[in-house]
Amino acid sequence: MSQSVYKVHHAIKCIDLIQEQIVRHPTLRPVVLLLKMILLKHGLNQPYSGGLNSYSLVLMATAFLQNLGIKDSISKNLREFLRFFGVYFDPHHCMIRDHQLLQDNSILLTESMTVYDPLNAANNVTRTAFRIQDIKMLFTQTYEQIVQNEAKFKAIYEHHNMQQIINEFQNVIVELTFNN
C-alpha cells in the first residue's frame, strides 16, 4: 500500500473512531471545540509550532471523559479537563494509551508528552508538542479563571440547548482568556 493510500485509509479510520467516541461521550464534541478555540487563540494549536493537533486533543478528551468525566455536563467536563491536564497531569510520568490515563512514577518518558494513537500503537500523536508546559500553564490559568468567575458559568449550566451552551461558553472563555 502506498504511503498516500495508507494516510487516507488511516484518516478514514480516525474519523470513524472519533464518531464512535462522540456517540459514547455526548460532551466530547463541545468540550473539544472549546479547547481548540482556547489553544487557537493562544497559538498552541499547531503541531509544527509545538502545539496540540486536533486528533491529540480528541484522544486526551476521550481518555478524560472515559476515566474521570461527568456525564452530560459540558461545563463541568471542560473545567475538570482543564484542571486535570493543567494541574495534575505530569507528562514525564503519565501517558494515554487506548483511552486510558496511565501513570508510572518509576519511568521517565523521554518525549514532551505521550498520547498513543489507538489505531497505531507505535504512533505517539503528541510527539511534536514541545510546548506542553505552555499548554499546561494555559489550561491551569483558564481553569483558575473559570473558578474565579463561577457566577458567569452557573447561568450557562441551566441551559439545555447544546448550541446555546457552546455559544455562551465561547463568549465567556474568550472574555476571560483575552482580558488578562
d(CA 145, CA 65) in angstroms, rounded, equals 22
Distance CA 136, CA 52 (A): 11
Strands, E assignment, 89-161 = 94-97, 100-103, 116-117, 120-124
Residue 29 carries which side chain, given as an amino acid letter?
R
**CATH class of residue range 3-178:** mainly alpha
Examine the pLDDT at 73 and tell me if it is beyond 90: no
Report the C-alpha gap between 145 and 61 in whole angstroms. Answer: 20
Is the pTM higher than 0.85? The answer reads: no
* Percentage of the residues of the chain whose pLDDT score is greater than 70: 79
Please state whether 169 falls in left (phi above 0), alpha (psi between -120 and 50) or beta: alpha
pLDDT tens for residues 14-56?
888 889 988 999 999 999 999 999 999 899 999 999 999 999 9
Query: Residue ranges of the domains in the chain?
Result: 3-178
pLDDT in tens, 145-175: 888 877 776 666 555 566 666 677 677 666 6
